[in-house]
Chain A
Amino acid sequence: MMAESMIIKGGIVYDPLNGVKGEKTDIMIKDGVIVSEVPSDAKEVDASGKIVAPGGVEMHAHVAGPKVNAGRTLLPGDFRRYYVPKTDSLRALVGYAVPTNYTTGVKYTELGFTTVFEPAMAPLDARHTFEELEDMPNADKAVFPVFGNNWFVFDCVKDNDIEKLKAFIAWMMTETKGYGIKIVNPCGAYMWAHHHSNVTSVDDVVPEYDVTPRQVLRGLAQANEELGLPHTIHVHANMLGRVGNVSTTLDTLKCVEDIKPHPSREQVIHLTHLQFNCFGEDENHRICSGAEDLAEYINSHPQVSADLGQVIVDVPTCTMTSDGPAEFFIHKALGPKAKWINGDVEAECGGGIVPITYRSNNPFNAIQWAIGIETCLLVKDPWRVVITTDHPNGGPAWYYPRVISWLMSKKARDKMIETVHKSVQDKTSLVNLEREYTWEEILICTRAGPAKLLGLKSKGHLGEGAHADVAIYPIDPEKVDMANQPEEIEKKLWADMVIKDGKFLVKNGKTITTERGRTYLINQYYKDEEHKRMLKDLKEHFQKWYSITFNNYRIQDVFAPRPQTVSINPIS
């Protein structure tokens, strides 16, 4: 089907990046982009009484790679939880928490999301990750290679050689077709693989390298800002899942306080799935919410952004991270019924997978559930907090409508608080929070905000020149009072129509066709002399530590057939 010109008429348009707040305007599309004028024969699309918004931007969802595949292996029952037989236009859909890539792509589209980022790729597993991503239809995608436990990074950081680190980062992004720097439990995964321990603060020392998580975070943040990658460092902090870890999280954020952001943005650090790193500790050393401390810090520090990692209770799901020790801890905490996998990726990182069902009657899980929305409500600036469930770690992304209903309606929250364990009432401040998100804020948290944080210029808005990714939801915000009808939000946040690059993918709530999305990637080495100096050391490093040769490391262009190269802007 050719991309046709069309005009979306009569919709209630929300385009926060361009200051459009629920106005009745027309959106015009030609050749796959938003334009200000279309030929007179342009197709008319009636969107009257419906919300017209930019396509959603998912900045953190584990949708592809060996760990997702391992999750599928551990959850065979997941494949009969949701299945739709194939039709003339669609392949069969199978799986729920860790569905097939095809299902993931289709479900995201039906939610109105047109961009999905895979946030943790072991660089050595890049080929597998891209092969899976290639099978995920519709969405534009990108991956974040993992850096926080890479031995070469440790070497650079130990010598405080930021120039070499910059050259290494640019090289790694180019070779593995990455987009941003992911840091998972810096130094912790190394300590797990080689000392059967973990780091407990940002100042624990890795013996062989004599570096600390603080140095790694600072080194990578500084290199990232000087290099001018589109996104800040994307950090999964130390001590994930441990009671009282909010202090470690605040230390992590403070580490990079004095680092100057790249001129193109205000942020230097993105704290991901904040819920898992926001546990306080009460006088009996039990869990309580740390949301107030964290939100206060985020409110007073514009250089920090975060995403929720909201927990969905009573839904079977699967945790999967590059944080091996955290997964082992979860496995131990869950008892003999919990299956688990732990893995090490040579000289780079590790990982673990544990299927889990968060229980509403479990005090710990109930508080986890509360922390996500509590923080989201306490953070004043919606541009710096993004709605995610860390799919599938906190729960499947298909629960976004429900998460949004909790944010938009105190009634929905109160109803939920009644059904979960009562610990939520005295260990978190959720019951006292009156704030209700507006449509504009929700659309910032799900598209405009993440697009801006990820440095995606043509996503998350409907201004001239933007990709024609449009989601149309069957809600009339003037007619339906969201706060009083939370069930409506939940039902109707499945898109009625979705247009991607000017083509209809969803009509009347049903996917009608699938397309291939593009891959955002960086393909640019750092300064020539620094690059050469780094390569000399790196080749030696490969000789010493890798089981594959240097020349086999780069993944071929064929793995990302529709690349969208993003340039880096080093500051000199």
Chain B
Amino acid sequence: MYQVSFKLKKEAPRLEIDTLTPDCLCLCSAEELKSVKIWRGKKEVPASEHFEVKGEPGPTPEETMVVIENCKPFVHYAGMFMSGGILKIKGSCGNYIGSRMTGGLIEVEGNVGDMVGEEMKAGKIVVKGNAGNYLGSAWWGDTTGMTGGQIVVEGNVGEMCGQWMEGGYIRVKGNAGDFLGVKQVRGIILVEGDAGYCCGAGMTYGRILVLGNVEILPTYEPDGTYEQLDILDEIFKGPFQLYKGDGAEDGKGDLYVRK
């Protein structure tokens, strides 16, 4: 696999690096690599002003790995619209990571901001640290969230995780904030820790699993118990209590909570 690395050398209040993806960089010559444009605030500047550029991209996105080193939370839009290949982010990152991506893999070693995997269609995002609010959700005011792919967060996530989610799989190894899976339509959300208030509010279909503690909304009705659950070929030992809801929206979603 070909590899290109961008090492952050000069800070700025805000950088937008949606051009630093395997899709945009594959086939670039060394000269072109240096002149790839990114946004600094409302000004377009060459990436080489802020990053040390090394390596050589492959002929297709799939054969290209982009590494962002020393990444900081003021760097936004990493991997937006990405369709293939690998994007590795060493350090933490800002908002909109993997937003509307259609394939490939994004790995972040640190924490990420809000709107990660917003409206993503396919591909995979792995976050080793914590994630902010609106993970895998719809754009503000829109009504279609993530429709496919996978997001794995090893730490905690903020509020509104999986809002308007219509497919795919979100796995949170830590705790989730309030309004987990609000307005969820399809897809699976698995939280290994606790979930906050109003879990599954307005959910119509889809599945939420909470292995830790969660307060069940009064609009959910108990519907049976399960000894174990099989999520994408992984067995989770129960026993689980199933709740159906959200009744306030005439919903038929499944909320499983470990007893």
Q: Is the CB of B142 within 8 A of A76?
A: yes
Q: Is the CB of A75 within 8 A of B249?
A: no
Interfacial chain A residues near B251, Cβ < 8 Å: 336
Partner among B139, B140, B141, B143 whose Cβ is within 8 Å of the Cβ of A337: B143
B202 located at the interface, meaning its Cβ lies under 8 Å from any Cβ of chain A in the complex: yes
- Minimal Cβ-Cβ distance residue in A for B141: A76
Per the bound structure, the CA–CA distance linking A75 and B144 in Å amounts to 12
Interfacial chain A residues near B140, Cβ < 8 Å: 76
A286 located at the interface, meaning its Cβ lies under 8 Å from any Cβ of chain B in the complex: no
Interface residues of A in 61-76 (CB under 8 A from B): 74-76
Q: Is the CB of B202 within 8 A of A336?
A: yes
Per the bound structure, the CA–CA distance linking A80 and B204 in Å amounts to 27
Nearest chain A CB to B186 CB, angstrom units: 12
A-B contact count (CB 8 A): 18
A77 located at the interface, meaning its Cβ lies under 8 Å from any Cβ of chain B in the complex: yes
Per the bound structure, the CA–CA distance linking A76 and B164 in Å amounts to 15
Interfacial chain A residues near B141, Cβ < 8 Å: 74-77
Q: Is the CB of B139 within 8 A of A339?
A: no
- Minimal Cβ-Cβ distance residue in A for B138: A77
Per the bound structure, the CA–CA distance linking A75 and B185 in Å amounts to 19
Partner among B143, B204, B250 whose Cβ is within 8 Å of the Cβ of A339: B143
Interfacial chain B residues near A74, Cβ < 8 Å: 141
Interface residues of B in 122-163 (CB under 8 A from A): 139-143
Nearest chain A CB to B51 CB, angstrom units: 24
Q: Is the CB of A336 within 8 A of B142?
A: no
Contact flags A404-438 to B (C-beta < 8 A → 1, else 0): 00000000000000000000000000000000000
Contact flags A73-92 to B (C-beta < 8 A → 1, else 0): 01111001000000000000
Contact flags A328-351 to B (C-beta < 8 A → 1, else 0): 000000001101000000000000
Q: How many residues of B are in contact with the other chain, CB < 8 A?
A: 11
Nearest chain B CB to A354 CB, angstrom units: 12
Nearest chain B CB to A47 CB, angstrom units: 38
Q: Is the CB of B143 within 8 A of A76?
A: no
Nearest chain B CB to A319 CB, angstrom units: 15
Q: Is the CB of B139 within 8 A of A336?
A: no
Per the bound structure, the CA–CA distance linking A77 and B164 in Å amounts to 14
Interfacial chain A residues near B143, Cβ < 8 Å: 337, 339
Q: Is the CB of B204 within 8 A of A77?
A: no
Interface residues of A in 303-355 (CB under 8 A from B): 336-337, 339
- Minimal Cβ-Cβ distance residue in A for B185: A337
- Minimal Cβ-Cβ distance residue in A for B166: A337
Nearest chain A CB to B3 CB, angstrom units: 32
- Minimal Cβ-Cβ distance residue in A for B204: A336
Per the bound structure, the CA–CA distance linking A74 and B185 in Å amounts to 20
Contact flags B238-259 to A (C-beta < 8 A → 1, else 0): 0000000000011100000000
Q: Is the CB of B139 within 8 A of A80?
A: yes
Per the bound structure, the CA–CA distance linking A80 and B185 in Å amounts to 23
Interfacial chain B residues near A337, Cβ < 8 Å: 143, 185
Nearest chain A CB to B54 CB, angstrom units: 32
Nearest chain B CB to A366 CB, angstrom units: 21
Q: Is the CB of B139 within 8 A of A77?
A: yes
Per the bound structure, the CA–CA distance linking A336 and B245 in Å amounts to 14
Interface residues of B in 141-199 (CB under 8 A from A): 141-143, 185
Q: Is the CB of B250 within 8 A of A77?
A: no
Per the bound structure, the CA–CA distance linking A104 and B202 in Å amounts to 35
Q: Is the CB of B249 within 8 A of A77?
A: no
Nearest chain B CB to A81 CB, angstrom units: 10
Interfacial chain A residues near B250, Cβ < 8 Å: 336
Q: Is the CB of A76 within 8 A of B139?
A: yes
Nearest chain A CB to B16 CB, angstrom units: 14
Interfacial chain A residues near B202, Cβ < 8 Å: 336
Interfacial chain B residues near A75, Cβ < 8 Å: 141
- Minimal Cβ-Cβ distance residue in A for B246: A336
Instruction: From B141, B204, B249, B250, name the one whose CB has the most chain A CB atoms within 10 angstroms.
Output: B141
Nearest chain B CB to A175 CB, angstrom units: 36
Nearest chain A CB to B28 CB, angstrom units: 24
Contact flags A264-281 to B (C-beta < 8 A → 1, else 0): 000000000000000000
Instruction: From A75, A76, A77, A339, name the one whose CB has the most chain B CB atoms within 10 angstroms.
Output: A77
Interfacial chain A residues near B185, Cβ < 8 Å: 337
Per the bound structure, the CA–CA distance linking A327 and B128 in Å amounts to 47
Interface residues of A in 199-239 (CB under 8 A from B): none
Interfacial chain A residues near B204, Cβ < 8 Å: 336
Interfacial chain B residues near A336, Cβ < 8 Å: 202, 204, 249-251
12 A-B pairs, CB-CB below 8 angstroms? A74-B141, A75-B141, A76-B139, A76-B140, A76-B141, A77-B141, A80-B139, A336-B204, A336-B249, A336-B250, A337-B185, A339-B143
Going nearest first, the 10 A-B pairs with the smallest beta carbon separation are: A76-B141, A77-B142, A336-B249, A337-B143, A77-B139, A76-B140, A336-B204, A77-B141, A76-B142, A76-B139
- A74-B141, A75-B141, A336-B251 known; 15 new pairs, CB 8 Å cut-off, are A76-B139, A76-B140, A76-B141, A76-B142, A77-B139, A77-B141, A77-B142, A80-B139, A336-B202, A336-B204, A336-B249, A336-B250, A337-B143, A337-B185, A339-B143
